[in-house]
Amino acid sequence: MPRASNDTAIAIDRVHKRYGRTHALRGVSFDIRRGEYFGLLGPNGAGKSTLISIIAGLTHASEGSIAVLGHDVRSDFRAARRALGVVPQELVYDPFFPVRDLLRLQAGYYGCGRDYWPWIDELLERLELTDKRDMSMRALSGGMKRRVLIAQALVHKPDVVILDEPTAGVDVELRRTLWRFTRDLNDAGHTIVLTTHYLEEAEELCDRIAILNHGELKVLEDKRALLDRHPYRFLSLQLTGDGGPLPAEVEALVEDRHEDTLELKLEQGRHYIADVMESIRDAGYRIADVRTREPHLEDIFVELTMDKPDGRAA
Amino acid sequence: MNWRGCYTLFVKEVRRFYNVLGQTVGAPVITAMLYLLVFRQVLEDRVNVYEGVSYTAFLIPGLIMMNVIQNSFANTSSSITQSKVMGNLVFLLLTPISAFEFYLAYIGAALLRATLVATVLYVLAQLFVTVPMANPLVVAAMLVCAGGTLAVMGMIAGIMADKFEHLAAFQNFFIMPLSFLSGVFYSIHSLPAFWQTASHFNPFFYMIDGFRQGFFGVGDVDPLRSLAVAAGFFVLVSIIAISMLARGYKIRG
């Protein structure tokens, strides 16, 4: 049985999922705390969507168990599903009903009656859908459809909200609106689980981050600790002059090269900025501009999920 | 029980067919009336099946039941297949609606559509000939058992179908032939011995014969036997459908 405590929103316990010979999840275990903004990251095929489907009851685990607010997703599925709102990744909708009717029907499936209608109107207002409430989903733009999907996930006021790539394919303005909206939800006490391919999104929003790769949990850490444990910093140099080849020890540090700009990856305590710059000057270059940056989540993500030459993931 | 959830799903399914009433009720009624007009014109004076019952009157319960069968099947199968193909079935699968509640809502809505078609057909048929109703209870019981059985079969077909072609094949090669060869247009006593025997293996024959006996009080087999066969099939296919839903067969990953 999954471990559950009052401060656990989702308890995932040794979950395996097999599709024929494919082992999509390999004994994944971790907890998502109540009230946190949690990021679930991983490359395509890492097992994120499979894990979310199991949490939501859309598919069943081959082994292991999951509980939402202490309710097992199979044996106590009603309570688990009432506690959960899921925004699916695909833009799917029922073409037969206008937006507000769709939301009222969705609330009804959860056993919520007319007393939830003011909340539905509030959702429409907050997601800027009020003037679209009587329109068919067919007539809405992709961004508007995405907002309706979010409203559908929230009609029954779930404690835990899973957003499966909610900003995929939406414009920058809508993405910002959705960020604000989900942050407000989190501030109001909802647990938010976000999967995204936009790593800056996870970096901006999430408190803790789990990275899945090849069906295994690679890392689960507080975002700040995760960023701090990356022992690198990046040095960007704009060079002028007709210098010769760079010294081999500098060349080994080059991460990116664009026209007259080099980006070097320096390991803290091992490579020193002053030494690197001196070597470059000795090679006959002048340094016109210098910039440094701390590692982003993306750098860590790439490092953790990049396949090593022997075929295994890092 | 999540009664409100079940009722909401029922309402949604009713609204789905009500939104296209011309297609879901109007079209089958017009088709059945055309059958009635043509067969009445050609056979009214040539065929006499039961003593004191005109051929037009004989035809009407059969036509009604054929439409109950086809519309019950179409309602559940098209709704589930459409939801699967369009991907919006996910919004139901995420909810705390159990397999049994899902079953109740879909079968209830399909039965309502079938009853609507049957009622409109019965009322319109009175324009041609007065059809008595000897035993309304038998009529209602056969309508529920037959309509229910086909609604559940539609549900099973919808769950199993990956695309509309699969559904069409089930409809064209199974439902349509069995319903046409079940005694809608004739009494099986007018068939050669072999086909009489073969008809007894067609469950649709019992549905139509039992239904017809509710109107005329006379038929090809004992009405209790017809009712038992229809009810038995209803229970059997219901057990299969509910267990498929509970296991999430072809709908939950």
Q: Is residue B18 part of a domain?
A: yes
Tell if the CB–CB gap between A59 and B252 is shorter than 8 Å.
yes
How far is the alpha carbon of A47 from chain B, nearest alpha carbon, in Å?
A: 14
Nearest residue of A to residue B98, measured between CA atoms: A78
The confidence score (pLDDT) of residue B98 equals 95
Q: Is residue B161 part of a domain?
A: yes
Across the range B122-133, mean pLDDT stands at 88
In which residue ranges of chain A is CATH 3.40.50.300 found? 8-224
Give the C-alpha separation, B218 to B187, whole Å. 11
Listed by number, the residues of chain A in 135-164 with a beta carbon closer than 8 Å to a beta carbon of chain B are 152
The dihedral sign for the CA sequence A136, A137, A143, A146: positive
Q: Is residue B120 part of a domain?
A: yes
Beta-strand ranges (E) seen in B2-70 are: none
Q: Is residue B99 part of a domain?
A: yes
Q: Is residue B217 part of a domain?
A: yes
Query: Which domain does B73 fall in, by range?
Result: 3-247
Site from A96, A161, A162 to mutate, B interface, most B CB atoms within 10 angstroms: A96
Q: What is the pLDDT of residues B30-87, one digit of tens each?
A: 988 888 888 888 777 776 767 777 888 888 999 999 999 999 999 999 999 999 999 8
Domain A231-294 architecture:
2-Layer Sandwich (3.30)
Which residues of chain B have a CB within 8 Å of the CB of A84? 94
Nearest-CB residue to B253 (from A58, A84, A88) = A58
The confidence score (pLDDT) of residue B35 equals 87
Fold of the CATH domain A8-224: Rossmann fold (3.40.50)
Rounding to the nearest 10 degrees, give the CA dihedral for residues A17, A22, A26, A27.
30
Which residues of chain A have a CB within 8 Å of the CB of B9? 108-109
Q: Is residue B98 part of a domain?
A: yes
Judged by a CB distance cut-off of 8 A, whether residue A57 touches chain B is yes
The dihedral sign for the CA sequence B16, B21, B27, B29: positive
The confidence score (pLDDT) of residue A311 equals 41
The confidence score (pLDDT) of residue A60 equals 92
- The per-residue pLDDT string of chain A (314 residues; one tens digit each, 9 = 90 and over) reads 444 457 899 999 999 999 888 898 999 999 999 999 999 988 888 889 899 999 999 999 999 999 999 999 999 999 999 999 999 988 888 888 999 999 999 999 999 999 999 999 999 998 888 999 999 888 888 888 989 999 999 999 999 999 998 877 777 888 888 888 899 999 999 999 999 877 778 888 898 999 888 899 988 988 888 777 777 788 888 988 877 788 888 888 888 888 888 888 888 778 888 888 888 888 888 888 888 877 777 777 777 776 554 444 44
pTM exceeds 0.80, yes or no: yes
Most confident among A164-168, B180-184, B221-225, B232-236 (mean pLDDT): B232-236
Q: Is residue B253 part of a domain?
A: no
Judged by a CB distance cut-off of 8 A, whether residue A90 touches chain B is yes
Q: What is the pLDDT of residues B214-231, one digit of tens each?
A: 998 888 888 899 999 999
The dihedral sign for the CA sequence A125, A129, A131, A136: negative
Q: Is residue B163 part of a domain?
A: yes
Tell if the CB–CB gap between A109 and B5 is shorter than 8 Å.
yes
**How many domains does chain B divide into?**
1
The confidence score (pLDDT) of residue A133 equals 92
Which residues of chain A have a CB within 8 Å of the CB of B98? 78
In which residue ranges of chain A is CATH 3.30.70 found? 231-294
Q: Which two tokens mark B90?
A: 């996910």
